[in-house]
Structure formats: structure tokens, C-alpha cells
A and B are shown apart, each in its own frame.
Chain A
Amino acid sequence: MTDSARSTHPDPARRRWMAVLARAEADRIAKLLAHCGNLPAHTIIRGPEGGLVMVRGRAGGGGSAFNLGEMTVTRCTVRTETGFIGHAYVAGREERRAELAALVDALMQDNDRNTEVETRVITPLERQQMERKAERASNAAATRVQFFAMQTMRT
């Protein structure tokens, strides 16, 4: 998403935590959730079920859309006994991850729990993801070519 589109998003905070959850491993979410005290019971409204998303690109990178190919996606919707409905669409075929992501999405909408779940789950997950990204970017930066000026080499 471009910066201009992001600024007009109706719920940027939720968009952020859903993006973090979509990239997190199930075991890691479960482990972090265990530090959040007693969680409300939840029932599954839909899924977790596997399916596809057709990924689109743009001709030339910025022109008309075209269908590039599909990717596997798993979705899940849960309702907590406290009445919050959480959704998840996550890349891949891991059902447990989709269910945990939907549960955390529901918990994050609860103002009584939001701060704790943010601190104990979302923030550490996001930090880990940022570290991975920074590491890859740093590996890439190490392969940036530093040109020498040929004229100075001849003299």
C-alpha cells in the first residue's frame, strides 16, 4: 500500500496488528498469549479454512492490473465470550495460525485487554519481524557495488 492510501485507511491500528499476526508463527503467538493471563473462551464462527487469493500485478509496474497467479491463504473468524469478533486471513495453509491470529484480533479490539496484548504479543512479534527485515536489508546492502572511477585508476 502506498503511503497516501495508508493515511486514508479507516482503521490503521487494526491494519497494523493484523499484518503483524499474518506473518507470525503459530507456536510463537501461542507462547506469547500464555503470558496474557486468563483469556476469554472463544468459539469459531468460520473456518479455519484454506483457499486461494489471486495475486495481481500492474503492466509495467504502474499500469493496468493483470492476474499474476494465485497464493494459498487460510482464513478464520472467531467470537470471544466477551462478544468480540476477530478475523484473520493469513498467507499459507496453517490453520492453527489463522485461528490464533483471529483470536488475537478479537482480543485487541477489547479496550480492557488491548494494552496488555499489544505489549505482550504484538510488540514482540513486530520487533522480531523488523529484525528479520533489517537483517535481509543489511545483507543486500553489503552487496551494493561501490564503483571506482576508472580515470583515477589509470594514473
Chain B
Amino acid sequence: MAYVAVKGGEKAIDNAHAWLARERRGDTVHPVLSVAQIEEQLGRSVDRVMAEGSLYDRELAALAIKQAQGDLIEAAFLIRAYRTTLPRFAHSRPVETAAMRIERRVSAVFKDLPGGQVLGPTYDYTHRLLDFSLLDDEAVAPATRSPHPLEPMPRVPDILGQEGLIEPDTSAEQEPGDLTREPLTFPADRDVRLQALARGDEGFILGLGYSTQRGYGGSHPFAGEIRMGEVSVEIEPAELGFSIDIGDLVLTECQMVNQFKGSKTVPPQFTRGYGLIFGFGERKAMSMALVDRAMRAGELGEDVTAPAQNIEFVLYHSDNIEATGFVEHLKLPHYVDFQSELQNVRRMRESAA
């Protein structure tokens, strides 16, 4: 592939960027949008940019959304570029989602589970009718506070695990792979797959998850549990020699529970797919759990036939920054390539004539 060096576009590029800045600002009769407003009032966009930009910082994500005029993939791209300018101080201890300060927790498999069904700030059960009162600066109802405190909420896999009916978590104490440090290689272990899914494109992961439900590698899933809330992050700086708590993150976790026939060595039991992402992003966490389970087909002795079960296919195409780079590079000058193709076609026609 060859690109031809092009000169002479500087003035046009400058003018294009100046126009872009004016388009971004919009009509100045309207007040300028503040980054704080985006952070507070477009929280789900902020969550998505943090997840796919793979960097938890609400203000930076809001800034990127403003700069990208609300183009969330462009915003995630800006965040990925920014993170390369910063040194990494440490990695955290694995976050304890069992100790999450729950804001939402639902299970589709047990109605009366310990801790109950906590809906949180959900769009579920809304009628999806446009709310025209939002055209104005409408008043918001005051918070409803419950006199009853939340009860402890054990994780659904732990409840099922007491009877031994679900596969237990197994832990290998080895350093997990890191896609930001080492290029993707195959076979890719589950740690790398989960990292790729957590930062993958929501639309792509959603489509793949959906495909497993429609029969392309189906694994009979139930949403065992979805939980969202704050967890604390701990690191162990070398200069201190002990662990410290550096702040909170909002995470969404999904435990998908799937049928499993069993094998020669393992009795019939439920298997699991896992989803964990930055922010409040239930659709993505559920999709991630479906695709995680689908990619375990080989490990569990199931036939690998469907796209979602094909680890290379999923991992090579889940990253929207890579995907947009390769798709959009097609608009760069390919004048020389095309000239040679043109000559080829002419030559073939001449020889056919």
C-alpha cells in the first residue's frame, strides 16, 4: 500500500478546522455547554466514553464529548490518545465487587434473594414515550428515602455455589496480560479476552451477544445478577509497603448463568459468563457476559461454530478505535494505488478484446 505525499492543502485544512470549531460552538445566541453540565447531565455518554476509552475520569470523558461534538467513538479516541501521555504509577488490587455499595441490583433467576431486587435509577419500566416536559427546565421530584436500610447482598453465584450447582471461580495467581502493553496474541486467555471486551465497542459486543441468543452459538443464558454501584480502589505503593484506598469507581457487573450438560469429568451444572465495565452500562455488561461465555465454548468442550465463539474474530474486531482507524483510512489519498488498478483494468480489457 502506498500513499502519495501531498502538499498544498494547508490553507484548506486550517479553514476546515476553524469551521469545525464554529460548528461545535453552534449558534452563539445559546449559552455555551459546560463540561460540568455534560458530566452531570449526560452521564451515560460519559460512562460509555470511559468504558471504551478505557480510562476512568468523568471530567476528561465529558471534555472529550464536548470536543467531539457528542461523537462518542471520536471521544473515546481522544481519551485513548490522552492516556498515552501519562506514566502508570501502579496497578490496583482486584476490586471487590462483592463489597460494592449497591445502587442497583436485580436478578432474573431468584425473586426473593437475600438483599432483594433493587431497581436503582433505571429506564426499565419507563414507557419510552418522549417527555416533552424536558423541553423546559422542568422541576425534579425530591429524593425518596427509605427508612429501611439496604441488607447485605450476596452475589448470586455464591448463593448457587452453596449447593455446588454452578462452576466455582478458579484463581491462578499469575500476572494478567495487558493489551495496552503487549500486542494481542493467540490463543488469548480469558484475562485478555475480558480486558478486550471491557474496552470493546458497545454496538459490536451487543450485536454478538444478540447473535448468541438467536442461535449462533446459543448457551441458554439467564441474567443471574446485575449490580451497579461504587467500589473502592486499592493500590500498594512501594514507598509505603502497605495498601491504601485511593477513591471510588462506579462499575456495572453482570453474572450470566448458562446451562451446561456436563462432561466425562464434570457433572451437569451451570456455567457462567462475566461482564464488568466502567460506569453504569448494563447493556454492555450483559452483552459482555454473553460473549465471554460464548468464547469459552472450546474450553468447555462445545462445538465452536458461531462468530461469537470465535475468539480471533471477536478480539480482532471489537475495538472501535482500531476499527475506525482502518475503515476511515480509506479516505486518505490512494491516488497511486488507484492509478495502478486503473492501468490493470485497461490492460485486461485490451487483452480480452
B91 with A139: CB separation less than 8 A: no
Q: A51-B88, A70-B54 are in contact. Are A57 and B194 (CB under 8 A)?
A: yes
The interface residues of chain A, by DSSP majority, are classed as: mixed
B190 with A138: CB separation less than 8 A: no
A140 with B102: CB separation less than 8 A: yes
A61 with B255: CB separation less than 8 A: yes
Contacts of A138 in B (CB 8 A): 143, 145-146, 149
Residue of A whose beta carbon sits closest to that of B274: A60
Query: What total of chain A residues lie within 8 Å of the partner, measured CB to CB?
Result: 57
Q: Give how many A-B residue pairs fall within 8 Å (CB-CB).
A: 248
Q: How far is the CA of A133 from the CA of B229 in the complex (A)?
A: 11
Q: How far is the CA of A15 from the CA of B245 in the complex (A)?
A: 7
A62 with B98: CB separation less than 8 A: yes
**Which one of B88, B99, B143, B179 contacts A2 once the chains associate, using CB atoms below 8 Å?**
B99
Binding-face segment, B29-37, B110-118, B306-314? B110-118
Q: A61-B157, A66-B190, A92-B57 are in contact. Are A71 and B242 (CB under 8 A)?
A: no
B246 with A53: CB separation less than 8 A: yes
Contacts of B237 in A (CB 8 A): 75, 87, 89
A144 with B244: CB separation less than 8 A: no
Q: How far is the CA of A67 from the CA of B55 in the complex (A)?
A: 12
B145 with A56: CB separation less than 8 A: no
B143 with A64: CB separation less than 8 A: no
**Which one of A63, A71, A89 contacts B244 once the chains associate, using CB atoms below 8 Å?**
A89
B169 with A63: CB separation less than 8 A: yes
Contacts of B272 in A (CB 8 A): 60
B93 at the A interface (CB under 8 A): yes
A80 to chain B, nearest CB (A): 17
B89 with A73: CB separation less than 8 A: yes
Q: A18-B244, A19-B244, A59-B190 are in contact. Are A67 and B176 (CB under 8 A)?
A: yes
Q: How far is the CA of A29 from the CA of B251 in the complex (A)?
A: 27
| Interface of chain A residues 110 through 144 with chain B (CB within 8 A) | 133, 135-144
Residue of B whose beta carbon sits closest to that of A10: B242
Contacts of B89 in A (CB 8 A): 51-53, 73, 75, 89
A23 at the B interface (CB under 8 A): yes
A53 with B54: CB separation less than 8 A: no
3 nearest A-B pairs in the assembled complex, by CB-CB distance: A91-B247, A141-B146, A63-B169
